[in-house]
Amino acid sequence: MTAHSLVRVGSSRLKSAVRAVTHWAARKTAGNTAGTAKSVLISDGQNLNIDARLRPGLTPAEFAFVSAHGKKLLTLRAAHRGAGEVTVYGNLSLLPRRGEKARFFVAVRSGEKWHRLDFYGNKSFQNGDVVVQYPASSNGYRAQPAIDRRGHLAVDVIPVDAGVSVHGVAVKLYRIHILLSSHYCAVKEIQCRLRGTDVSLSATVKDSTNAVGMTVLTLPLEEMARHPRVGERGESDVWRLAVRCPDDWRPLRMHYTDLSNPRHSLRYPTVMLAALPGRPRFRPYWNVNGDLVVEHLHPSSQREGDRQ
């Protein structure tokens, strides 16, 4: 028997041993699971909803988040729909904060023992990667569903570094408003830099917040319109936007969203400043890097879809 044949035999035996151990572990833990979660939804960064089917024969007494060691941390509510179907829900902002990433498992108590939920369904993690306290506040944490190597359902609570995230862009009449949430920093200044030049306009952010506590930025379109145009041959000018937080200039991006790049999903109308000479037009859009920028359309440009 050659060395190559020995390697092949050893590899086959190793694979067989791994399969045997895996099947043994699956049989051993099958009776310890509470059931199977079919979908998980985190909305507004804090409201958790789980649709699950409990294991036949299980008598649920309580639903809760437990630690990796099985310690109960937070009671969850449940609505039973019959035939073992149940909806589990709770407020993630009530989970303990540890200053570092922490994982909490969803479990069901039957008698004196806690049984974890498995997850093998379709992932419905809408807004899963968002700030736990909506809108962003000083707690600075975000929550996202997770599955451990045994298939158990969990929720990871992760600290958020200082930063700014765009929550929306509102184009109204002659104004462009940007809604921001910030963490561990107060947005005081916005910078508009003309692409390809050293031209930069700065505007102080007034203490302006909306009903849910987000910062509302209003772009200085009149100043941007009065600046000499640099675009040639029908090209439009592009203004890059950044805010100071806390000491560094950061581009405006949509961090806490399921969209990999809003450019492919979000479009905004054009604003025309009819009272100014030339009736300048501006349109915000997301560039290929996921940064929010503003396009100053060239007077000869007629196509709304043209973008730099």
Pair type for strands 153-159 and 292-296:
unpaired
Distance CA 99, CA 203 (A): 35
In this predicted structure, what is the pLDDT of residue 142?
A: 73
The model's pLDDT over 29-46, given as tens digits with 9 standing for 90+, comes to: 445 788 888 888 877 667
Q: Is position 5 within any domain?
A: no
Q: What is the CATH number of the domain that holds 73?
A: 2.60.40
In this predicted structure, what is the pLDDT of residue 293?
A: 92
In this predicted structure, what is the pLDDT of residue 81?
A: 87
Out of 159, 174, 195, a domain closes at 159
Q: Which residues of the chain have pLDDT under 50?
A: 3-9, 21-30, 122-138, 211-212, 302-308
In this predicted structure, what is the pLDDT of residue 299?
A: 74
Answer yes or no: pTM beyond 0.75: no
Domains contained in the chain, number: 2
In this predicted structure, what is the pLDDT of residue 282?
A: 93
Residues 272, 240, single domain; the answer is yes
**Structural domain of residue 258, as residue ranges?**
163-296
